[in-house]
């Protein structure tokens, strides 16, 4: 994965901690409006509770991922001008950030699709849409605000669906392996063989996936909060992000794709 598709908080003005709203829930202990700095944000753009986010009730922060949009908006689009020093710019910066985050998220998925040998027939189309998406991130703030991101996402989504089908084709049987739209909250799937399943957008909150075989599973958009993947095998799975992994329970025996790391809370 390209380095610019990884978040680099040191070069970001903590945009996710200011620009985005959150609501009191299982993921956040209080409400915050968009554009309002989080009360835990320090003047040096560091989080005062960074090492205890989960225990303090900020699970939403642990499972958030900007895919590199934060440093791009901070250092490239706004040329290193902190919102604190440029309050007249802050509103447009906070509007642009979530839009660029969506574009970077698309780049991350397309990049993974391009890395697969199974999708070689799609590579010209994937490459073209990657370049178009990248070009959008280089536009001016006003141009970004006026982009039709929903239409572009639809084009990207179509290619990611084709990617998934090609990648999992040895495991697709009459469409019965798609659980799209079904609710698997708290599902008991311990030790099951789920290789090549389509978990696209699936709610797997608090599911028991201990020791499950999850190789070649498509995890795009799956909600894995508090799912237990201790001892599960997720090598060679598709579209699994670090933020999804951060929201799970796991242990030293969980096998992840090489581009992901085991969260610290798994080891405590
Ligand atoms: S709790 Fe920390 S990481 Fe979460 S929004 Fe606030 S400052 Fe940012």
pLDDT in tens, 248-263: 999 999 999 999 999 9
* 227: helix, strand or coil: coil
Residue 174 pLDDT grade (very low, low, confident, very high; cuts 50, 70, 90): very low
d(CA 163, CA 151): 19
Q: Are 52 and 147 within one domain? A: yes
Q: Are 1 and 112 in contact (CB under 8 A)?
A: yes
Same structural domain, 96 and 176: no
Count of the separate structural domains present in the chain: 2
Identify whether residues 158 and 192 lie together within a single domain: no
Cβ-contact 21, 32 below 8 angstroms: yes
pTM of the model: 0.94
- Average pLDDT estimate for 61-73: 96
Q: How far is CA 128 from CA 134, 224, 246, in A?
A: 10, 31, 31
Give per-residue pLDDT as tens, 49-62.
Answer: 999 999 999 999 99
**Mean pLDDT confidence for 128-137:** 98
pLDDT category at 143 given cuts 50, 70, 90 is very high
Residue 175 has pLDDT above 50, yes or no: no
Residue of the CA atom closest to atom 1 of ligand 1 = 40
Task: State which of 167, 195, 221 marks the end of a domain.
Answer: 167
Query: b/e for 184-213, b at 16 or more Cβ within 10 A?
Result: beebebeebebbbbbbbebbbbbbbbbbbb
Helix residue spans in 57-197 (DSSP H): 59-62, 69-71, 87-114, 123-137, 141-145, 149-167
Interval between CA 125 and ligand 1 midpoint (Å)? 38
Dist. CA 15 → ligand 1 center (Å): 10
Q: Where does a domain end: 138, 167, 196? A: 167
Q: Is 13 in the pocket of ligand 1 (CB under 6 A)?
A: no
Same domain for 10 and 112? yes
Shared domain for 61 and 151, answered yes or no, is: yes
Same domain, 160 and 198: no
Query: Has residue 120 got a pLDDT over 60?
Result: yes
Residues 16 and 123 in one domain: yes
Same domain, 48 and 161: yes
Helices and strands (DSSP H and E) totals, the chain: 8, 0
Instruction: Point out the ligand 1 atom lying closest to the alpha carbon of residue 32.
Output: 5
Residue 173: pLDDT band with limits 50, 70, 90: low
Residues 221, 123 share a domain: no
At 182, is the pLDDT very low, low, confident or very high (cuts 50, 70, 90)?
low
Domain, as residue range, for 195: 171-268
Same domain? 18 vs 120: yes
Q: What is the pLDDT of residue 183?
A: 84
List, for residues 79-108, the tens digit of each pLDDT value.
999 999 998 999 999 999 999 999 999 999
Closest CA to 100 of 72, 79, 128, 58: 72
9 lines ligand 1 (CB under 6 A): no
What's the average model confidence in pLDDT over 167-185?
69
58 Cβ below 6 A of ligand 1:
yes
| Same domain, yes or no: 140 and 121 | yes
**How much distance in Å is there from the Cα of 41 to the middle of ligand 1?**
6
165 C-alpha to center of ligand 1: Å? 37
- Ligand 1 atom closest to Cα of 46? 7
In sequence order, the β-bridge partners of residue 193 are 213
Residue with the nearest Cα to atom 2 of ligand 1?
47
Residue 30 and residue 156 share a domain? yes
Choose one of 147, 167, 187: the last residue of a domain. 167
């Amino acid at each position: 994965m390209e380095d610019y598709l990884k978040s680099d908080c040191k070069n970001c003005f903590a945009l996710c901690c200011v620009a985005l709203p959150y609501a009191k829930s299982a993921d956040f202990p209080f409400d915050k409006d968009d554009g309002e700095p989080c009360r835990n944000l320090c003047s040096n753009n560091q989080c005062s509770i960074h090492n205890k986010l989960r225990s303090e009730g900020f699970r939403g922060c642990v499972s958030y991922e900007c895919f590199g949009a934060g440093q791009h908006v901070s250092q490239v689009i706004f040329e290193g001008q902190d919102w604190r020093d440029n309050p007249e710019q802050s509103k447009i910066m906070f509007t642009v950030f979530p839009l660029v985050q969506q574009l970077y998220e698309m780049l991350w998925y397309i990049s993974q699709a391009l890395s697969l040998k199974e999708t070689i027939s799609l590579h010209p189309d994937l490459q073209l849409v990657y370049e178009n998406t990248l070009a959008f991130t280089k536009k001016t703030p006003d141009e970004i605000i006026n982009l039709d991101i929903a239409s572009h996402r639809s084009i990207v989504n179509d290619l990611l669906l084709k990617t998934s089908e090609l990648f999992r084709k040895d495991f697709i049987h009459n469409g019965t392996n798609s659980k799209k739209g079904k609710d698997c909250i708290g599902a008991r799937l311990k030790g099951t063989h789920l290789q090549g399943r389509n978990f696209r957008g699936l709610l797997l909150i608090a599911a028991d996936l201990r020791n499950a075989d999850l190789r070649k599973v498509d995890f795009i958009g799956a909600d894995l909060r508090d799912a237990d993947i201790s001892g599960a095998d997720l090598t060679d799975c598709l579209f699994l992000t670090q933020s999804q992994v951060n929201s799970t329970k796991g242990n030293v025996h969980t096998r992840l794709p090489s581009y992901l790391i085991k969260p610290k809370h798994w080891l405590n």
